[in-house]
């Protein structure tokens, strides 16, 4: 049984084309969507993410307002920058690139962002609304996974979904989105007993652990859909949390790394920014 290899690059480019069309409509109404990206410090991975986000903005017609601050920036200086973007009517979304350098309090900086301008879905208001089943911006990576499932007509309703990982960036919001899509959801983590057996019950298995190629064929029920959120740099390059070559032959569909979930995260950031601009235009 050869499974489908889910093409995240293709779906992400379709999503960006849809966003570009919505941007054109907003511009015709006199509103150019704007995204402020705030990067603190000089973490090379964060710098490269931020550069790619700027490129995406240019492609879809979103104006980007970027601020780069040194690692010695104080909490109050960071919050002043956030306040300035909160007050700027040309800025519809604010993204604070994480992680922040040591000494800065990410929780209070995230809470400082106006909930209307949260495009990461990390604001306490957004998470609270998601828990309550109300409309809210969704965290980009888990929403990217949901978009991939929709693009491949994989309906989670009634299925057993297992999420491995309970991070606030991915695992927890992923579980909530799968519940909203009517899956029966189990969340596993480092203290889960008999992880292999729990994973083998999954019709949809989402790996978001951060351990290179940990999920092999023993964890996967034949015919399952396997979504790999992992990005791990190892000697021979970038690998996911799933041992792709061992799992692909038994999965009905699987995301590769790279080219699976990764491109979707950035595409959803563009979606969330345009959604925020549309909401602002209606106010
Ligand atoms: N760092 C790693 N992933 C993310 C993300 O989705 N958003 C932000 N703001 N920072 C990140």
pLDDT of residue 1: 54
Q: Give nearest CA residue, ligand 1 atom 11.
A: 98
Contacts of 21 (CB under 8 A, 6+ apart): none
Closest CA to 6 of 283, 265, 261: 261
72 C-alpha vs ligand 1 centroid, how far in Å? 20
Residue 223 has pLDDT above 60, yes or no: yes
> Which of 166, 216, 210 is CA-nearest to residue 186?
166
In this structure, the residue with its CA closest to atom 6 of ligand 1 is 140
Assess whether the C-beta atom of 40 lies below 6 angstroms from ligand 1: no
What is the percent of the chain with per-residue pLDDT over 90, rounded to a whole number? 99
Looking at the domain that runs over 140-261, which CATH code has it been given?
A: 3.40.50.720
C-alpha torsion sign, points 179, 122, 53, 260: negative
Task: Average the pLDDT over 189-193 and give the result.
Answer: 97
Answer whether 115 contacts ligand 1 (Cβ < 6 A).
no
> What is the reported pLDDT for 15?
98
For ligand 1, what atom is nearest to the CA of residue 96? Answer: 9
Evaluate whether 59 touches 96 at the Cβ level (below 8 Å): no
Tokens of 245: 């070559």
According to the model, what pLDDT value does residue 179 have?
Answer: 98
What residues pair up with 67 in beta bridges, in sequence order? 38
Boundaries of every domain in the chain: 30-116, 140-261
Residue 139: pLDDT band (50, 70, 90) is very high
Q: Which of 7, 22, 53, 203 is catalytic?
A: 53
Each residue's pLDDT tens digit, 81-130: 999 999 999 999 999 999 999 999 999 999 999 999 999 999 999 999 99
Mean pLDDT across the chain, nearest whole number?
Answer: 97
Task: Let me know if 97 is a catalytic residue.
Answer: yes
Our answer on whether the CB atom of 241 is closer than 6 Å to any ligand 1 atom is no
Give me ligand 1 centre to Cα 120, in Å. Answer: 7
pLDDT single digits (tens) 228-280: 999 999 999 999 999 999 999 999 999 999 999 999 999 999 999 999 999 99
Asked if 31 contacts 60 with a C-beta cutoff of 8 angstroms, the reply is no
Q: Which atom of ligand 1 is nearest to the CA of 98?
A: 10
Contact indicator for 82, 115 with CB cutoff of 8 Å: no
In CATH terms, the fold of domain 30-116 is Rossmann fold (3.40.50)
Residue linked to tokens 């402020």: 36
53 catalytic per annotation: yes
Annotated catalytic residue within 22, 56, 97, 203: 97
Residue 50 CB less than 6 A away from ligand 1: no
**pLDDT value at position 166?**
98
State CA 252 to chain mean position distance. 23
State both tokens at 249.
Answer: 């032959």
- Does this chain's domain 30-116 share its CATH topology with 140-261? yes
Distance 98 CA to ligand 1 centre (A): 5
pLDDT of residue 113: 98
- 215 has pLDDT over 70: yes
**Rounded to whole angstroms, how far apart are CA atoms 283 and 275?**
13
Residue tagged 């999954």 (tokens) = 202
Q: Is the CB of 120 under 6 A from ligand 1?
A: yes
Average pLDDT over residues 145-149: 98
120 is catalytic: yes
Full-prediction pTM beyond 0.85? yes
Spell out the residues 6+ positions from residue 102 whose beta carbon is closer than 8 angstroms to its own. Answer: none
Coil vs helix vs strand at 201? coil
Most ligand 1 atoms within 8 A of CB, residue of 97, 142, 270 to mutate: 97
Q: Retrieve residue 251's tokens.
A: 């999965």
> What confidence tier does 162 reach under pLDDT thresholds 50, 70, 90?
very high
8 Å CB contact between 46 and 97: yes
Atom 4 of ligand 1, residue of closest alpha carbon:
98
Q: 37, 45, 47, 49: which to mutate for ligand 1, most atoms within 8 A of CB? A: 49
Question: Phi then psi for 200, rounded to 5 degrees?
Answer: -70, -15
Tell me the CA–centroid distance for residue 97 and ligand 1, in Å.
5
Q: What pLDDT, on a 0 to 100 scale, did the predictor assign at position 135?
A: 97
Instruction: Report the pLDDT value the prediction gives residue 29, as an integer from 0 to 100.
Output: 96
């Amino acid at each position: 049984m050869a499974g489908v290899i889910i093409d995240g690059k293709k779906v992400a480019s379709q999503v960006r084309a849809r966003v570009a069309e919505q941007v054109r409509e907003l511009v015709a109404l006199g509103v150019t969507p704007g995204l402020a990206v705030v990067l603190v410090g000089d973490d090379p991975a964060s710098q490269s993410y931020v550069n790619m986000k700027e490129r995406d903005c240019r492609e879809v017609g979103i104006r980007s307002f970027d601020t780069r601050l040194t690692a010695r920036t104080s909490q109050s200086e960071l919050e002043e920058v956030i306040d300035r973007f909160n007050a700027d009517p040309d800025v519809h979304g604010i993204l604070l690139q994480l992680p922040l350098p040591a000494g800065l309090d990410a929780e209070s900086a995230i809470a400082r962002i106006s909930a209307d301008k949260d495009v990461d879905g990390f604001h306490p208001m957004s998470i609270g609304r998601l828990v309550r089943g109300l409309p809210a911006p969704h965290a980009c990576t888990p929403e990217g996974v949901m978009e991939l499932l929709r693009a491949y007509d994989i309906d989670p309703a009634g299925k057993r979904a297992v999420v491995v990982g309970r991070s606030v960036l991915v695992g927890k919001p992923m579980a909530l989105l799968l519940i909203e899509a009517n899956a029966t959801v189990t969340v596993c983590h480092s203290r889960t007993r008999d992880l292999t057996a729990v994973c083998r019950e999954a019709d949809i298995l989402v790996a978001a652990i951060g351990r290179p190629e940990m999920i092999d064929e023993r964890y996967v029920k034949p015919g399952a859909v396997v979504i790999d959120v992992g990005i791990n740099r190892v000697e021979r390059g970038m690998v996911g949390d799933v041992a792709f070559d061992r799992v692909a032959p038994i999965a009905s569909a699987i995301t590769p790394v790279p080219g699976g979930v990764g491109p979707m995260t950035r595409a959803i950031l563009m979606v969330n920014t345009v959604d925020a601009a549309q909401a602002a235009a209606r106010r």
